[in-house]
Amino acid sequence: MKRIDFLKSLGFSTIAIATGESFLSSCMHMDVSPDISSVGDFITILKIPSEYALSSVLKAQTSQDTLLSKSKVNVLGYGENGLLGPTIKAQKGQYISLPFQNNLAEDTNIHWHGLVIPAEMDGHPDHMIKPNANFDFQFSVNQPAGLNWYHPHMHQHTGEQVTKGLSGLFIVESREEKALNLPRGSHEIPLIIQDKRFNTDGTIRHNPSRMEVMSGYLGDHVLVNGTNKPFVEVATGFYRFRVLNGSSARIYNLALSNNADFYLIGSDGGILPQVETLKSLMFAPAERADILIDFSNLKVGEKIYLKSEKFNGMGNSQGTQTFDILSFNVIKTETDTFKMPSVLLPLDKLSAASKTRQFKLTMGMMAMGGGMNKINGKTFEASRIDETVNLGNTEIWEFDNSTGNEPHPMHIHGVQFQVKSRSGGRNSIMAQEKGWKDTVLVAPNEKVKVQMTFTQKGKFLVHCHNLEHEDDGMMLNFEVN
């Protein structure tokens, strides 16, 4: 096939193809779906992020970590301990102060993903923290117990900083959640799943081509908590896994290698009303899953894997392979007293919506100098307010990907929302969408409606959480007055 015909087959117009050799060559070096089923045993013990010590300084900095081999390489993280940051825990109702220091040679900031907090604390790209500068993040945590996270949020460089290691977990706990008596202590394990690519020297590589800015920058290794091919030792009981998809673009179709059921008890914004018994779970970037796994039917010495199965309908580069993520090695028997609750925590009903807004997701083929991924025909402009919302109002926002070819995990800042409907594509509300959400996967051909009440004043963002799409400008401002 001639190069020009090849590009046309990918959907490029003749005009787009005519716009420059550098674009052509970057396309020809594309690696749309790298092989992730690399050989090797799961023989490295799963790292667990440290717990944040209250009022200690979170420092964005370069440090060293072991990733693919035993030799240490330079990575980014929050602190001296290598990739990622400490897990912050706060009680519902707690006022928390998080001193932050930028020890990088470039600007950064922190977005508290999932937390409903004032705009000045939310980490808008307007609010950058310069090299060697510091900032005290202070806010009250007034939301249900759940797994949230934190990461940088600047325009055009979020993908690079997150990929190189800047992310951490923020867990909100509450009395209501404690009363459920869920597995805890050694039976509650955080899992940050991230695919990455590497340079020959073992450092993390971030160099998406123009093609990958559209199709997704997928890695060829999957790390869990920064561990390549990890195992975790378990006993024959129930465990609670607090799972974050911290990847740039990769969607996982989570399942267990023995085809056993697992139990979804929570998603982005907290605990679900009821347990969802699943064999598999489509899990998009920035989504969280609170999962219980029962190992009581296994014998000491057995191993099962958390894996990702093949899937369709999410663009050409996603779901092309089945691969293992994490090995569970059963090392001891125990008597487990955990009882699965028949109901979990009730989901508050939202008021009726006073307005519906449309967000049309499109991918323009070529815009030299500008973004290709657009919302309502626009790319991000920091000073432009795209939507104005009245404080206290309840609205429905519809994300319309009916003409798109790529999946978009859409994230709204400053709120937790409920998914009201999905038409086209998968045509139904998924298990993890039956509770509070801040990120919803909008697959090709789908229109998804979400509903929320705006309780925080100020300037916030709505954007795609495929980090290359976001950095390309698939992000708008909205202001709540």
Footprint of Cu ion (CB under 5 A): 408, 464, 466, 469
DSSP state at residue 22: H
List C-alpha distances in Å: 184 to 278, 337, 346, 370. 21, 12, 21, 48
Taking residue 290's Cβ as centre, other Cβ atoms within 10 Å add up to 26
DSSP state at residue 350: P
Taking the complex as a whole, the smallest distance from the CB of residue 362 to Cu ion amounts, in Å, to 10
Taking the complex as a whole, the smallest distance from the CB of residue 158 to Cu ion amounts, in Å, to 13
**Per-residue tokens: 347:** 């989901």
Taking the complex as a whole, the smallest distance from the CB of residue 444 to Cu ion amounts, in Å, to 11
E strand or H helix at 173, and its extent? strand 168-173
Taking the complex as a whole, the smallest distance from the CB of residue 224 to Cu ion amounts, in Å, to 24
| Residue 206 or 463 with smaller CB distance to Cu ion | 463
| Residue 237 or 409 with smaller CB distance to Cu ion | 409
Interacting residues of 212 by C-beta distance below 8 A, sequence separation 6+: 30, 31, 32, 218, 468
| Residue 313 or 458 with smaller CB distance to Cu ion | 313
Quickly tell me which residue has 């940088």 as its tokens: 152
Taking the complex as a whole, the smallest distance from the CB of residue 475 to Cu ion amounts, in Å, to 10
E strand or H helix at 290, and its extent? strand 288-294
| Residue 372 or 464 with smaller CB distance to Cu ion | 464
- Which of 351, 349, 294, 343 shows the shortest CA–CA distance to 176? 343
Q: Which residue is nearest to Cu ion (CB)?
A: 464
Bridge pairing between strands 418-423 and 355-363: unpaired
| Residue 449 or 469 with smaller CB distance to Cu ion | 469
| Residue 326 or 464 with smaller CB distance to Cu ion | 464
Taking the complex as a whole, the smallest distance from the CB of residue 197 to Cu ion amounts, in Å, to 19
DSSP state at residue 457: -
| Residue 199 or 316 with smaller CB distance to Cu ion | 316
Interacting residues of 293 by C-beta distance below 8 A, sequence separation 6+: 238, 239, 241, 256, 260, 262, 263, 328
Quickly tell me which residue has 């869920």 as its tokens: 182
Taking the complex as a whole, the smallest distance from the CB of residue 256 to Cu ion amounts, in Å, to 29
DSSP state at residue 259: -
| Residue 250 or 408 with smaller CB distance to Cu ion | 408
Taking residue 385's Cβ as centre, other Cβ atoms within 10 Å add up to 12
| Residue 374 or 459 with smaller CB distance to Cu ion | 374
Per-residue DSSP letters for 114-130?
A: T----GGGS--TTS-B-
448 - beta bridge partners? 399, 422
Taking the complex as a whole, the smallest distance from the CB of residue 474 to Cu ion amounts, in Å, to 5
List C-alpha distances in Å: 81 to 53, 111, 199, 285. 14, 21, 21, 24
Taking the complex as a whole, the smallest distance from the CB of residue 247 to Cu ion amounts, in Å, to 13
List C-alpha distances in Å: 385 to 126, 148, 318, 380, 460. 13, 26, 33, 10, 9
| Residue 217 or 262 with smaller CB distance to Cu ion | 217
CB 142 within 8 A of CB 60: no
Quickly tell me which residue has 């465990």 as its tokens: 239
Taking the complex as a whole, the smallest distance from the CB of residue 386 to Cu ion amounts, in Å, to 16
| Residue 413 or 469 with smaller CB distance to Cu ion | 469
List C-alpha distances in Å: 253 to 320, 333, 404, 441. 11, 29, 21, 13
Taking residue 405's Cβ as centre, other Cβ atoms within 10 Å add up to 15
**Per-residue tokens: 226:** 């920064």
Taking the complex as a whole, the smallest distance from the CB of residue 367 to Cu ion amounts, in Å, to 15
| Residue 164 or 408 with smaller CB distance to Cu ion | 408
Taking the complex as a whole, the smallest distance from the CB of residue 373 to Cu ion amounts, in Å, to 6
